[in-house]
Structure 1
Amino acid sequence: MSKALSVDLRTRVLAAVAEGASHRAAAMRFGVSAASVSRWRALDRRQGDVMPGPLGGDRRSGRIEAQHGLIRRLLIDTPDITTAELRLVLQDLGHSFGHGTLQRFFARHGLTRKKRPRTPASR
């Protein structure tokens, strides 16, 4: 997994640019890309420091989590609905989610979609 470069390095690179070095020259001097120098400079202008943002993690599950109540209601109303059918119903309601997104949603909430036949237990 990638790791953000240190704030110290970012600060030293931007100090070199402030002293008159071009982005490319500062990048070569410190062994980083010129694009990184540009991004760090924009970050410094925008938020006042060069602290890196969070890396990794889930950024998109909030969209499906916002529909938690709707999905639960659909599952209660039609307990034998398949994942494909659930996707179509949600799509008709204006919510488009992929199969994998629904599977991860089910796993997070402990929901199973396996249809088991109603047969007596074996001896």
Structure 2
Amino acid sequence: MSAPLPLALRTRFQRYIEEGLSGRAAALRLKVSPATGARWARQVRVRGHAEPAPKGPPRGRGKLVPHQAFLEELIAQDPDITLFELRDALADAEGVMVHHSSIANLLSRLGFTYKKSRWWRPSAAAPR
């Protein structure tokens, strides 16, 4: 999905609407599509502004937040536990079925990291 059009353009559009132009006429002046002009004009009438709506899903608690303490306790007991083991332990203890990447996302939001293996360039003396 592309980025929303600039706020300065939307502000100029809103000024044209407040001066009495139709959405289509204001859109033609600003060289945006008539459909965009109609949509922005409706936003100005209903919400009072033509600012873009927030993108993405609404931020909320999520499915795993109630089980956050359980996952942190498992990690405290065994710091080398894998995501798949966490997923299976959560399913066994709490009956919650989630993908292991969801657990990884929660843990990264909580500040947990994992150590990546270090890649060393081969030395010039090493055989190829």
Task: State the TM-score, normalizing by the size of structure 2.
Answer: 0.50
Unaligned 5+ runs, structure 1 = 115-123
CA–CA distance in structure 1, aligned partners of residues 28 and 16 of structure 2: 11
Whether 2:55 is the aligned partner of 1:41: answer no
CA–CA distance in structure 2, aligned partners of residues 111 and 20 of structure 1: 55
- Which fold has the larger relative contact order, with Cα–Cα distance below 8 Å and residues 6 or more apart in sequence? 1
Distance 1:70 1:110, change over 3 A: same
Give the match for residue 102 of structure 1: 103
- Runs of 4+ more than 6 Å apart: none
Over aligned residue pairs, what C-alpha RMSD do you find? 4.1
CA–CA distance in structure 2, aligned partners of residues 28 and 98 of structure 1: 50
CA–CA distance in structure 1, aligned partners of residues 4 and 23 of structure 2: 25
What's the offset of the Cα at 1:17? 4.7
Distance 1:69 1:49, change over 3 A: same
Give the match for residue 120 of structure 1: none
**Residues 14 and 37, structure 1, Cα contact 8 Å, conserved in 2:** no
Distance 1:27 1:98, change over 3 A: farther
CA–CA distance in structure 2, aligned partners of residues 29 and 63 of structure 1: 44
Amino acid at match of 1:110: F
Unaligned 5+ runs, structure 2 = 117-128
**What percent of counterpart residues are identical?**
27
Superposition map of 1:9-20 within 5 A: 9-17=9-17, 19-20=20-21
Task: State the TM-score, normalizing by the size of structure 1.
Answer: 0.52
CA–CA distance in structure 2, aligned partners of residues 61 and 112 of structure 1: 25
Q: How many residues align?
A: 110
What's the offset of the Cα at 1:79? 4.8
